């Protein structure tokens, strides 16, 4: 993972250390994940056997003119009181602030102990905002070893454009070797992506963050309605630990949390910022090559990630804190908690099928009319994304002799739907022909009304 330190007119910085301009001398900045002794002026009382050491994040403002003395012993003033920042209150105060203002506040507050997490997608906007503040900033990225060639070329372009060095964090070679030797190169298609992401992304990130007091991400509320709709501007990281260690030792900044994706792209174009060439090929959310594909009309942007899994799995673990424990029932489709979600596909042109209704429909060999049925869960963001097109389909087919219906297939009905109705992930669309008992599963990912209409017209 690479950190880059830049000033408003900085030169490129190479190697694992970064240098930062100072009024009196150059200060070497340690790489992410390294241990640093803070510089202090203090008097050590050798007559005492013990001394209390103040936490790293409580240190007084660093004097940049002094080099850290790695071989020296220093002790801070024990009697000094530490003020605890109320980041929840700060998030409220910054809720209407611009991304530039938020970025400036983050860099001002944490200096060398904060870094931008860069994925190689539209979060390049974070680097542009950091540059516009005129403050030094650092950038890191996770190289999983499975990224697209276009993403690697984009990293190089970003480094040259901003005159920075990104410090890349790599997965542990022994762990990757063990995973691939035991389960193969593409095991995530069979048993889920979490294990691979844990080895290639989560653990390297954990090592990186142990060298920081704060980090900056490109999370937006509109990216994933199921998991990111409540992302705050700033928060105490609920999952990872920072330099000091322990709960509450790391702060997480999300400067573009309240910004729509459209506005991000307008900003990138206005500032002539370089972008990943994959975006012009239909990719919106960009991750590893085997687990990322372009999105199609009617699909949510996160549906281009891990498309073979249910919506509950659309986080890789880097932002696991977004998955709230009290919302687990809604996310995994089990338990009565799912009932708290407002139902979708609400239209007089749609038939709502009960469990008995869908069972009867599936058993019939000669139906009076053909049916198209969506198997859905109201909490699923991908079901929500296709609601408009499916309702429009129902209105188009009204009076045509084709029945349009919905069946809620999560919770206690999920096992039945998987076994009897070909449910793989939400949403699943089935066509029940007039003179055939077997339902036909809609195989395309295109869920716009024209594509759905073409599917019906070809079969009825």
Active site residues: 380, 383
Q: Of 279, 230, 284, whose CA–CA distance to 257 is shortest? A: 230
- Compute the distance between CA of residue 437 and CA of residue 290 in angstroms, rounded to an integer: 36
Cis amide leading into 427 (omega within 30): yes
Q: What are the backbone dihedrals phi and psi of residue 414, each rounded to the nearest 5 degrees, phi first? A: -65, -45
Instruction: Name residue, tokens 């990322």.
Output: 292
Q: What are the backbone dihedrals phi and psi of residue 375, each rounded to the nearest 5 degrees, phi first? A: -95, 120
Residue 161's H or E segment, with its range, is helix 149-162
**DSSP SS3 for 155:** helix
Alpha-carbon dihedral of residues 299, 300, 301, 304, nearest 10 degrees? -50
Q: Of 258, 262, 236, 259, whose CA–CA distance to 249 is shortest? A: 236
- Compute the distance between CA of residue 386 and CA of residue 197 in angstroms, rounded to an integer: 28
> Which residues, in sequence order, are CB contacts of 119 under 8 Å at separation 6+?
141, 142, 218, 286, 287
Q: Give the burial class of 351: count Cβ atoms within 10 A of its Cβ; 0-12 exposed, 13-18 middle, 19 or more buried.
A: middle
């Amino acid at each position: 993972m690479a950190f880059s330190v830049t000033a408003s007119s900085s030169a490129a910085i190479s190697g694992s250390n970064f240098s930062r301009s100072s009024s009196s001398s150059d200060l070497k900045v340690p790489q992410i994940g390294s241990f640093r002794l803070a510089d202090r002026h203090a008097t050590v009382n050798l007559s005492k056997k013990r001394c209390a050491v103040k936490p790293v994040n409580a240190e007084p403002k660093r004097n940049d003119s002094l080099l850290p003395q790695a071989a020296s012993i220093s002790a801070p003033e024990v009697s000094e009181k530490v003020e605890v920042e109320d980041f929840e209150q700060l998030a409220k105060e910054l809720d209407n602030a611009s991304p530039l203002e938020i970025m400036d506040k983050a860099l001002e507050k944490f200096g060398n102990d904060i870094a931008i997490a860069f994925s190689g997608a539209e979060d390049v906007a974070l680097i542009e905002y950091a540059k516009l503040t005129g403050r030094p900033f650092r950038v890191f990225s996770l190289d999983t070893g499975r990224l697209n060639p276009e993403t690697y070329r984009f990293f190089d372009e970003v480094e040259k454009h901003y005159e920075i060095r990104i410090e890349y964090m790599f997965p542990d070679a022994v762990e990757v070797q063990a995973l691939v030797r035991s389960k193969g190169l593409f095991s995530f298609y069979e048993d889920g992506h979490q294990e691979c992401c844990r080895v290639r992304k989560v653990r390297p990130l954990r090592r990186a963050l142990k060298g920081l007091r704060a980090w900056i991400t490109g999370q937006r509320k509109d990216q994933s309605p199921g998991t990111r709709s409540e992302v705050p501007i700033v928060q105490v990281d609920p999952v990872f630990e920072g330099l000091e260690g322990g709960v509450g030792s790391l702060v997480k900044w999300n400067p573009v949390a309240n910004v729509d994706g459209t506005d991000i792209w307008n900003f990138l174009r206005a500032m002539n910022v370089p972008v990943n060439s994959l975006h012009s090929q239909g990719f919106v959310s960009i991750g590893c090559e085997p687990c990322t594909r372009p999105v199609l009309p009617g699909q949510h942007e996160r549906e281009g990630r891990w498309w073979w899994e249910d919506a509950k799995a659309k986080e890789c673990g880097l932002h696991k804190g977004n998955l709230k424990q009290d919302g687990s029932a809604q996310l995994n489709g089990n338990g009565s908690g799912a009932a708290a979600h407002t139902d979708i596909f609400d239209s007089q042109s749609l038939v709502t099928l009960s469990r008995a209704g869908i069972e009867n429909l599936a058993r019939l060999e000669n139906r009076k009319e053909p049916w198209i049925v969506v198997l859905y869960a109201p909490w699923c963001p991908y079901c929500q994304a296709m609601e408009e097109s499916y309702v429009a389909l129902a209105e188009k087919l009204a009076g045509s002799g084709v029945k349009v219906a919905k069946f809620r297939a999560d919770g206690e009905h999920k096992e039945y739907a998987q076994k009897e109705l070909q449910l793989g992930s939400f949403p699943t669309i089935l066509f029940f022909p007039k003179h055939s008992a077997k339902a036909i599963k809609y195989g395309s990912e295109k869920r716009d009304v024209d594509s759905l209409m073409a599917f019906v017209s070809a079969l009825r």
